[in-house]
Amino acid sequence: MYEVEHLLSMGSELGEGPLWHPSQGKLYWVDIVAGLIHRVTPGQGEVETFPVGQPVGALGLREKGGFILALKRGLHFWDPATQQLEFLVDPEADQPQSRFNDAAVDRRGRFWAGTLDQDNRSVLYRYDPDRALHVMQTDILLSNGIGWSPDNRTMYYSVSLMGAVLAYDFDLDSGSLANRRVFADYTGQIPDGLTVDSEGFVWVAVWGGWRVDRYDPAGKLAAQVKMPVAQPTCPAFGGENLDELYITSAWQGLNAQQRQEQPLAGDVFRIRPGVRGIAEPQFAG
C-alpha cells in the first residue's frame, strides 16, 4: 500500500509534465492551459512561476543549460534566468488549433514530442540535436507519455484516446522504432503520462481512473496507487536519490459538483515507492 502525500496546493487546470532537475534539486512542472512553468525545492520555500505566453505541453533538460519546451507554437529553447524563448521549429504552423502535448528526451539527447489538434489527432515527432525534425508516428489519437526501458531497447508510448500504452523495439543509435504492439490495454480508459523506474517497471497515470498503475516489463499489472483525485496526469521520479515519485493532476473537465468533491484536483502529490527512478537525459543540442 502506497501512502500518497499531498505536496503542493496548486489548483492547476491541467497540471502536467513533472521533471526533476538534479543539479538544482528542484521539481519543474507545467500548467498547460495557463501557459505556466512552475518550480519548487520540495519542502523548502515558495513555488516560483514563469509565464511563457502560450500553452506549454512539456519541458526537457538541455545539456547546454536551460530547457527545451514543447509549446502550442512549436519547439523552443528556454532559459529560466532570462525567461527568453528561442524558437526552433513549428511543424504544424498551418494548423492554428494544433499544439504540442507531452514530450521526453531519449538517452542520445533527442527530443520526442507529440501534437494534438482539435479532434485529438496526433503526430509524434523526433527532434535531433542537429536540428533535424522527423515524423515518427501519424495514426495516433491524443499523443501522451513517452519513456524508455533501462536497457534502451524498448520505447513506451501512451496513446490516450486509443486506450493503450504501446511498446516499440527501439534502436538507441538510430532513434528508429519497430514492432509496434500493445503493452498495456486500457480499452475504455485514458492512460496519460508515464515514467519508467530503474527496475524497468512502467508507471502510468490514468486520467479519470483515480489511480497510477505500475506494470512489470512483461506488461503485467504489478501495483496500483489510489489517488485522492480522479485525474492524475503524470508521474516522475525525483529527490536527491530519485526515490520519490511526484504526480501532477488536473481539474479540467470537472463540473462544479465534481470540483467541490475533489478539492485537491490540480495539486501535486508525492509517494515513496520503494524503488528508484532513472535520471532524465538532457537534450544534446
Distance of CA 78 to the CA centre of its chain: 17
Q: Across residues 170-185, what is the average pLDDT?
A: 98
Cα(99)–Cα(202) distance, integer angstroms: 26
- For residue 245, the model assigns a pLDDT of 98
Distance of CA 147 to the CA centre of its chain: 9
Nearest Cα to 43, choosing from 219, 236, 239? 239
Tens digit of pLDDT for each residue in 69-100?
999 999 999 999 999 999 999 999 999 999 99
Cell digits of residue 122:
496526433
CB 246 within 8 A of CB 259: no
Tens digit of pLDDT for each residue in 130-155?
999 999 999 999 999 999 999 999 99
- For residue 45, the model assigns a pLDDT of 76
What are the φ/ψ torsions at residue 258 (nearest 5 degrees)? Answer: -65, -40
pTM for this model (two decimals): 0.97
**Would you call 272 helix, strand, or coil by DSSP?**
coil
- For residue 65, the model assigns a pLDDT of 96
What are the φ/ψ torsions at residue 189 (nearest 5 degrees)? Answer: -125, 175
Cα(22)–Cα(13) distance, integer angstroms: 27
Q: Across residues 214-221, what is the average pLDDT?
A: 98
CB 176 within 8 A of CB 124: no
Rounded (5°) CA angle 107-100-69: 55
Q: Across residues 110-137, what is the average pLDDT?
A: 97
Cα(61)–Cα(228) distance, integer angstroms: 30
Tens digit of pLDDT for each residue in 241-276?
999 999 999 999 999 999 999 999 999 999 999 999
Rounded-to-10 torsion of CA 250, 226, 257, 246: -20
Which domains does the chain carry?
5-283 (2.120.10.30)
CB 175 within 8 A of CB 106: yes
As annotated, the active-site residues are: 192
- What is the band of 44 on the pLDDT scale with cuts at 50, 70, 90? confident
Cα(35)–Cα(276) distance, integer angstroms: 30
Tens digit of pLDDT for each residue in 185-200?
999 999 999 999 999 9
Nearest Cα to 245, choosing from 220, 217, 275, 215? 275
User: In the β-sheet with 74-79, what is the strand arrangement from edge to edge?
Assistant: 84-89, 74-79, 67-71, 56-62, 282-283
Cα(167)–Cα(147) distance, integer angstroms: 10
CB 21 within 8 A of CB 59: no
